[in-house]
Structure 1
């Protein structure tokens, strides 16, 4: 991983310093780039919120070989981890690798590691086209995320995504405030319940599932359930759209309490290690998404880099489960937390 990170640092040319701890402090306000918006408070809050939780160490048990496998949204996975949807290698990551190679590294690397990768969307078209191509190459094993576009663009991209053979679609409604897209004549906007229902019904008509990314409050989690979504992602878009939000680990417990058992609950934001994965599961998530570290691994080592990073996370998660007495994913609950 050190070689992969060193190579990524070289290729990312200051767009990301590949810091020892990816906490948003050095890159605050660097958008474009990999930083958080404004003061970077939301990005930093993700890390700080997770750091605020401690783990109960337990060793008087027989959970010496924990099972990290799980099933999420009908997909069997080696662990409850996905790659978050990130695109824009050329303007956010220095352009050291092509958009096509980056998307392929993430999607193919995740498949090889027994998990699933998500792909991004935006302007120019190369962003979603590269993601769609990677998913199609992998037999539909990937989740295309489509921004909450206004007008015909949304339906057009859903239809194009369908041709990849994927069984799950996502929408990052947390991108609704990206003013730069509107300035480019490609506006995105929040989605009311009535519109969401129509979108989800369309996807369900294809026998596919639908994820809403960007749910940070219990009331909107309930709205997602009412709209018929199959999953939500508790996410503040990596701290890149609204300054001064809470960290996702702060928001997660209240959301989980409100909709547990009604919808699959996923979370991203500040997850850097297997112990962080364990914490998020203990706080009520069914699975997690990891963004920037996967992007760094993809830039620094392409598919091999992604595979190596995910292997590291899996080993860390397994070790943390041994040390907290969790024999499998289902046994992880709030008792893990101090």
Structure 2
């Protein structure tokens, strides 16, 4: 498999819903949500890439690091890299429908597993979306993380139970989906959660609970105070609220506020292994990657997903060696220029 062929096939299969641009930066698809673009002006989508781009890597080659260790343990599972596949749904209205929902999520979960890491599945306006993801995770021995929209309490609890029955590594809720109109229009209402409601949900499952969509230090504290095992610093790929900061802008302050409280994941604008290393230096334990893996699935199935994840791992290894970074479990902010403000 080669990148050019994969991208060509994906461009044809995605039917213009994703142009498979040379640089996936949100300009060509601005306002196309549903679709693959960002909300309204797509400033939040673009901010994710701009925030990462604002940091440069300090190249260092006079050091003792001869090999780079990319392995990391999350939620009791050892992974080959600190890169997970993000939850994605809505193949018909977001990606053109060339693949079925079930086929797509199996490609994501299977491809991530083949690359030695974890894939996530999502929830959506059609309840079958969630079931398809759970089936894929169950068939891979539980190597996946389902994310649930902020539905009513009883509905979320029932879905958490199904996630546990599937043997999932962990389960989460993308609280940043609280304003998704497509959910309400399809009779699946969602809403913000109070701290008390969040605690109730965390306590309703034995699985590690992840809160996705944290963009401020105070809400990171609320999530961990409620008992969450992890958070995802994310603006939902710029798809729910226009004019938010990029994840890399807010991550350092969040990481300082909740250091050692639990797992910190980051999501938004990851395109290369160097981007992964930047997020780790800014305080993340691992990252989620979304849109590029859509290209992998549509262009090459599970093999295409695995191919792109391993490409990122190779790039990460190179960036680590050229910054004197021995392990992804201890990335110094000093590899960045400018360095993030430290407490």
Q: Same fold by TM-score, threshold 0.5 exceeded? A: yes
SS of 1:101's equivalent in the other structure is helix
Structure 2: distance between partners of 1:21 and 1:62: 35
* Residue aligning to 2:85: 83
| Cα deviation 1:261-307 (Å, max 9, x = unaligned) | 11211100001000000000000001100010012111211110011
* Residue aligning to 1:183: 185
SS of 2:211's equivalent in the other structure is strand
Alpha-carbon distance, 1:333 to partner: 1.4
SS of 1:110's equivalent in the other structure is helix
Alpha-carbon distance, 1:176 to partner: 0.4
In 2, are the aligned partners of 1:265 and 1:284 still within 8 Å (CA)? yes
Unaligned 5+ runs, structure 1: none
SS of 2:57's equivalent in the other structure is coil
In 2, are the aligned partners of 1:168 and 1:209 still within 8 Å (CA)? yes
Structure 2: distance between partners of 1:331 and 1:172: 27
Which runs of structure 2 are paired with 1:168-247 in the superposition (5 Å)?
168-204=170-206, 208-247=207-246
Structure 1: distance between partners of 2:182 and 2:104: 23
- 1:45 and 2:44 matched: no
* Residue aligning to 2:309: 310
Structure 2: distance between partners of 1:256 and 1:163: 32
| Cα deviation 1:184-226 (Å, max 9, x = unaligned) | 221001111111111101113xxx2010000000000010111
* Residue aligning to 2:318: 319
Q: Which runs of 4+ in 1 moved over 3 A?
A: none
| Cα deviation 1:35-91 (Å, max 9, x = unaligned) | 000000000000000001010000001212211111112110111110000011111
In 2, are the aligned partners of 1:121 and 1:147 still within 8 Å (CA)? yes
Coordinate RMSD, CA, aligned: 1.0
TM-score (norm 1): 0.97
* Residue aligning to 2:4: 2
In 2, are the aligned partners of 1:217 and 1:255 still within 8 Å (CA)? yes
Structure 2: distance between partners of 1:64 and 1:320: 12
